[in-house]
Amino acid sequence: MRRTHRVPRALLAGLAGVALLGTTAVLTANPAAAAAGCRVDYTISSSWPGGFGATVAVTNLGDPVDGWRLTWSFTAGQSITQLWNGSYTQTGAAVTVTNAAYNASIASGATASVGFNGSSTGTNPIPAAFSLNGTSCTGGVVSPPTSPPVTPTTPPTTPPPARQGPCDIYSAGGTPCVAAHSTTRALYGAYNGPLYQVRRSSDNTTRDIGLQTAGGVVNAATQDSFCAGTNCVITILYDQSGRNNRLTQAPPGYWKGPAAGGYDNLADAKAAPITVGGQKAYGVYIAPGTGYRNNNTNGVAKGDQPEGIYAIVDGTHYNQWCCFDYGNAQTDGIADAPAIMETVYFGADKQWGWGAGNGPWIMGDLEWGLFSGDKAGYNNLASINHRFVTAMVKGEPNHWAIRGGDAQSGDLTNYFDGKRPSGYNPMKKEGAILLGIGGDNSVSGRGTFYEGVLTSGYPTAATENAVQANITTARYHQ
């Protein structure tokens, strides 16, 4: 269901005039210098029992502005449950949406948009009135009269909105994370535990690597200090979901790894340095022979149960072999049937399935084949070329999809959405989790992993779009 309501509104003069200086005072600037006006487009993009998705677009018809606050009131008991491209508070029916750091400035004729999911009971009328920075928008472009000079006022006492991570967004969408792995940042706004563990070769001692702050980015200085002058490997990828679905050194399967006892190698902890949010971090560098696995998980989809998976990977580090995977796999390490896996694959392998061009592609490893669509072999699946890639695969009974995008900016692309391949309905997933290898412990693939999750339930596109917006604000950078 899609309803669009265009509401012409006047923009508050001097929209750029609210600034926080230090932590002591808020200064209100003279608003007389700016002509103002705007248009608000409120679109209900989707509806379902008890809920809806919507987009609110503000087009600036006046002089450029820097910093905005949009307010409205619902009239039928609606509530926002999650919002992206900004932050929000709601008290009763009254909603206040504030810009994100990256969309605070709106040039003349430009538009800033926020999207949200909401709950509703019964009717869902469109709000009748909007205000921008405290002034009701009336539809004209105005030049306000001269205002008094700058005067200090008391700073606001309302605390900032709570930090939000991808798993908070999935949970709000009804598809909570059952596994959440990252070496770069917290995937829940309140998480304050370890991300991963390293072991140094000089004395074989280990150290957990945690966060700078709760819900924040990794404290890579801990690793740098502990591993100075010696080699380190990543021994554990901790699970932030609370289900203890951690990943450790993969055991031998049908194919044996190169380490003692046929186990796979552990990743070099120093091999993939990047920054996240301007802070140093490290990824999991998967060279051929490297792999992680957990064959005894808690809460991961089995059989034909629905699930969603995403991974952030290095879009420049891949090869044409099997299999740089992350996701749901069989528990015995043997490729003894189709449909016992469901993972994200990233690379340029053409042995089973492939897409357009030379790759790399996001595909699904469903066992007995990599799939780029609803049939084996070629499907018209576009290559994806970004420094950091968001790779998504999700599945439910006789339906699955592939989505992806640039983890640094922009929206997701729908690469495939359709029925299961022949022989893969129903699925027979077994609920193990792996990283960097195929289900039978194929160890020829390569790639670099930064973060990823598995969910319970089939995520909506709106939820995934909100997750992508969260990922882009994390500021992955080389």
CATH 3.90.950.10 fits 3-143, yes or no: no
Q: Which of 307, 325, 367, 406 is catalytic?
A: 367
- In this chain, the answer to whether the domains covering 3-143 and 166-477 adopt an identical fold is no
- The pLDDT of residue 141 is 55
- The pLDDT of residue 132 is 77
Residue whose C-alpha is closest to residue 236's, from 209, 215, 217: 209
- The pLDDT of residue 439 is 98
Give the predicted TM-score (pTM) of the model.
Answer: 0.69
Joined together, the tokens standing for residue 420 give 């299961």
pLDDT lower than 50: segments of the chain: 1-33, 146-161
State how beta strands 370-371 and 135-136 pair.
unpaired
Active site residue 396: no
- The pLDDT of residue 131 is 77
CB 402 within 8 A of CB 395: no
Where residue 453 falls (left for φ over 0; alpha for ψ -120 to 50; beta otherwise) is: beta
Active site residue 66: no
What whole-number distance in Å separates Cα of residue 442 and Cα of residue 320? 13
Domain positions in the chain are 3-143, 166-477
Q: Which of 349, 440, 451, 464 is catalytic?
A: 440
What whole-number distance in Å separates Cα of residue 375 and Cα of residue 352? 10
- The pLDDT of residue 138 is 67
What whole-number distance in Å separates Cα of residue 182 and Cα of residue 279? 15
| Fold annotation for 166-477 | Jelly Rolls (2.60.120)
Q: What is the dihedral of CA 114, 115, 120, 122, to 10 degrees?
A: 100
Residue whose C-alpha is closest to residue 183's, from 395, 452, 411: 452
